[in-house]
Each structure stands twice: as structure tokens, then as C-alpha cells.
């Protein structure tokens, strides 16, 4: 049973436009969410996180939105740059009582086209 | 600060053998988590160590074990290797106070079981 789902395996966006990556979760115990970026042959790199007490968190070109009622979060990248081409993982944790570490989605491969 | 380091980077073993992977966390980080990444299952949590004690464990068989030393370095052991154990094994370190602390990943060890 996949508790964190990224339904788009890949996404192609033109340079300079907005990239929107989506993530859905099923476990209502999740209360902390993170996005990681991964290049080939490297480990995931932390991008941005959001606590369930917020609905938006911004860091430069990256903004994460959380809709708790829909159990949905999204990562917006504006403007998209060629270096953003990578696999993006959504992750969740249940800080209050979970003992399962981070639960990851299967990733979305973002391709930024010139 | 140096990042998370993992050794070896690549490893080839045969079925039935055992393997030990090593992870050195970022200086000052007391928590080390291990993940397995495969194309089919994505990133899956194996276990987490904090102050030399296993604090959290994922849903993996007992063939997967680990330990943490007093300097926070961690090792992961897989006994009686199976073909399905072929994967990228990632180690992540964090300050360790909470599950939601930002985890910083190493580059991973690519294990191939023949």
C-alpha cells in the first residue's frame, strides 16, 4: 500500500515557465512533508519542507503548498531553470507517533527544455 | 563541513554471501538512517540509529541489520544475499532530535547481487 504517491513519473517544462510537481498521501498521521531532488549517481538533496500547521512555505524559487483536507501537496518552481532537471521525491513523516522514518513517493522526473 | 560519506560506492556480491556497508554522518549529527532504493519500490526506510541504539525500523527481514558506533558512524549488514537485494543503499544523517529533522543523504552504495 503506497502511502505517498507521485502519479506523474515524468514532467517536461519549458525553461522560464512554472514547474508544478504533485504529491498525494493517504496516511492522516503524516504531519511533516519534505521535497528532495536527486541527480543521477548522487544521494537526494533536501529542497524544502512544510509542517502540517502551515499551508505554504517559500524558499527562493521553490514554494510548497499543502492542502490537508485533500491530502495533497505540490511543489512549484518559478522560473524553471535547466539545472532543475532531476528526479523530485516527495516524503512524509508522522513526527508525533510514527516509527517508520521518512516515507517517500516514487519520484517525478522533471525535464526542463530550453 | 564534510557531507555524508558512504563506502564502498559500488559492490558486487553473489547470492548467499553477506555484505557490510559503512556510513559516516555529518559531524555533529547523531542520527543515521538507512534506505533502500530500487526501480520498482522507490526509496524504502530500513532503520534509524540514534546514540548507538536502533530507534526506528522499517518493514525488512531480519537479514538486514545495522549498528552505530560511539562516533555516530554506522554500518549496515545484509546476510544471505538474494538477487532482490540488488539496489542503491542510501544513508542519511540528521541532528537527531526528531524524525522531522532535515536528513542529509550520502551518495549511496550500489550493491549488485549475482
- Cα–Cα dist B68/B50, whole Å: 8
What pLDDT shows up at residue A98? 46
B33 touches chain A (CB under 8 A): yes
What pLDDT shows up at residue B36? 95
Q: Do A99 and B43 touch (CB under 8 A)?
A: no
- Nearest Cα neighbor of A71 from A92, A95, A49, A85 is A92
Q: Do A101 and B107 touch (CB under 8 A)?
A: no
Task: Kindly state the average pLDDT of the residues A13-19.
Answer: 98
Residue A90 has pLDDT above 90, yes or no: yes
Block means of pLDDT (10 residues each) for chain B, 114 residues, are: 91 97 95 90 90 90 96 96 96 78 90 97
Residue A86 has pLDDT above 80, yes or no: yes
What pLDDT shows up at residue B19? 97
pLDDT of A24-42, one tens digit each?
999 998 989 999 999 988 8
Nearest CA in chain B to A2: B41
pLDDT of A42-78, one tens digit each?
899 999 999 999 999 999 999 999 999 999 999 999 9
3-state secondary structure B9-58: CEEEECCCCCEEEEEECCCCCCEEEEEEEECCCEEEEEEEEECCEEEEEC
Chain B window 42-81: which residues touch A at a Cβ cutoff of 8 Å? Answer: 42-45, 47-48, 55-58
What pLDDT shows up at residue B56? 84
Amino acid at each position: 500500500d503506497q502511502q505517498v504517491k507521485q502519479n506523474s513519473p515524468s514532467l517536461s517544462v519549458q525553461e522560464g515557465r512554472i514547474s508544478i510537481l504533485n504529491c498525494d498521501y493517504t496516511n492522516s498521521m503524516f504531519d511533516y512533508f519534505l521535497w528532495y531532488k536527486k541527480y543521477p549517481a548522487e544521494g537526494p538533496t533536501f529542497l524544502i519542507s512544510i509542517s502540517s500547521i502551515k499551508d505554504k512555505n517559500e524558499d527562493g524559487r521553490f514554494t510548497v503548498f499543502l492542502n490537508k483536507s485533500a491530502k495533497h501537496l505540490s511543489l512549484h518552481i518559478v522560473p524553471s531553470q535547466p539545472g532543475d532537471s532531476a528526479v523530485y521525491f516527495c516524503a512524509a513523516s508522522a513526527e508525533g507517533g510514527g516509527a517508520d522514518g521518512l516515507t517517500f513517493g516514487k519520484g517525478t522526473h522533471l525535464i526542463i527544455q530550453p | 563541513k564534510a557531507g555524508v560519506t558512504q563506502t564502498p560506492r559500488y559492490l558486487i556480491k553473489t547470492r548467499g554471501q553477506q555484505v557490510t556497508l559503512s556510513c559516516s554522518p555529518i559531524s555533529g549529527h547523531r542520527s543515521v538512517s538507512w534506505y533502500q532504493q530500487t526501480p520498482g519500490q522507490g526509496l524504502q526506510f530500513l532503520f534509524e540509529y540514534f546514540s548507538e541504539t536502533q530507534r526506528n525500523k522499517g518493514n525488512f527481514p531480519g537479514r538486514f541489520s545495522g549498528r552505530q558506533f560511539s562516533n555516530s558512524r554506522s554500518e549496515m549488514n545484509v546476510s544471505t544475499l538474494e538477487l532482490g537485494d540488488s539496489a542503491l543503499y542510501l544513508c542519511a544523517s540528521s541532528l537527531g532530535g526528531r524524525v522531522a529533522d532535515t536528513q542529509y543523504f550520502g551518495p549511496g552504495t550500489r550493491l549488485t547481487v549475482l
